[in-house]
Amino acid sequence: MENKVLELFIPGPAGRLEAKYYKSKKKTSPIALILHPHPQYGGTMNNKIVLETFNVFMENEFSVCRVNFRGVGKSDGEFDNGQGELADAAAALDWIERENFDNSQCWIAGFSFGSLIAMQLLMRRPEINRFMIISPQPNVYDFSFLSPCPTSGAIVYGKKDELVSMQSINELKNRLSNQKGINVEFIQIQDANHFFSKSEESLHKSINKYILKESALF
């Protein structure tokens, strides 16, 4: 299906943002935006977990976009410590919404650093109905802004994540499970590390199962 994926540039606050985009042929298809890991540690929109997530949304006939933050790949600008990257994500969401004004659902997804930006965007954009974040780092980044978390979603993490303590994941779980009216599913992949080395298939299945279940509700 990769041959149907368009390479394009989205206008962003610091210049052009390089993006890959798949447009579903399905009318009123749901949309999804996927955000990549930390640019200063080699994170790009072609990261294998970002690509895996993109492909699952594509297989489920979402119109889906992944984007390089400022200063990454062919995107203009330079790293801005999260603030600029949040503005980039907002610009990319604006763009995919304009392209799919009749969308039935709006999802945000992110991996590692991308999961932090995804959740910050979620707090600012009430049209986002669902989220899918992978390997968040609540021991590195403060997720206390999720009070309350405005919508249901899934948090996928590896039991053997070498960068994140299970205690910090459990603390995040406790905070988010006490909220009425929303359901945040914590999906643990048994043998996976932070980067899901050799666990890509389990990750694919878990993401797919959640998307199938939640997209059927709309």
Helices 200-215 and 48-59: angle between axes, nearest 10 degrees = 40
Question: Please, where are the H alpha helices in the chain?
Answer: 48-59, 83-99, 113-124, 166-177, 200-215
Average the pLDDT over 87-111 and give the result. 98
What pLDDT, on a 0 to 100 scale, did the predictor assign at position 98?
A: 98
What pLDDT, on a 0 to 100 scale, did the predictor assign at position 3?
A: 61
How many Å apart are CA 217 and CA 198, to the nearest integer? 32
What pLDDT, on a 0 to 100 scale, did the predictor assign at position 180?
A: 85
- Per-residue CA distances from 96 to 52, 88, 165 (Å): 19, 13, 35
SS3 of residue 94 by DSSP: helix
In the chain, the percentage of residues whose pLDDT exceeds 70 is 99
Nearest to 70, CA basis, from 89, 81, 85, 82: 85
What pLDDT, on a 0 to 100 scale, did the predictor assign at position 217?
A: 80
Q: How does pLDDT run across 34-70, given as a tens digit for each residue? A: 999 999 999 999 999 999 999 999 999 999 999 999 9
What pLDDT, on a 0 to 100 scale, did the predictor assign at position 45?
A: 98
Least confident of 133-137, 146-150, 156-160, 206-210: 146-150
If you average pLDDT over every residue of the chain, what do you get? 96
| Under 8 Å between Cβ of 49 and 118 | no
Q: How does pLDDT run across 154-188, given as a tens digit for each residue? A: 999 999 999 999 999 999 999 998 888 899 999 99
DSSP string, 13-57: TTEEEEEEEE--SSTT--EEEEE-S-GGGT--TT-HHHHHHHHHH
Q: What domains can be seen in the chain, in order of their start residue?
A: 2-215 (3.40.50.1820)
Residue 2: pLDDT above 70? no
Prediction pTM value: 0.97
Residues 6 or more apart whose CB falls under 8 angstroms from that of 188 comprise 157, 158, 159
Q: Are strands 130-134 and 106-111 parallel, antiparallel or unpaired?
A: parallel
What pLDDT, on a 0 to 100 scale, did the predictor assign at position 138?
A: 97
What pLDDT, on a 0 to 100 scale, did the predictor assign at position 172?
A: 95
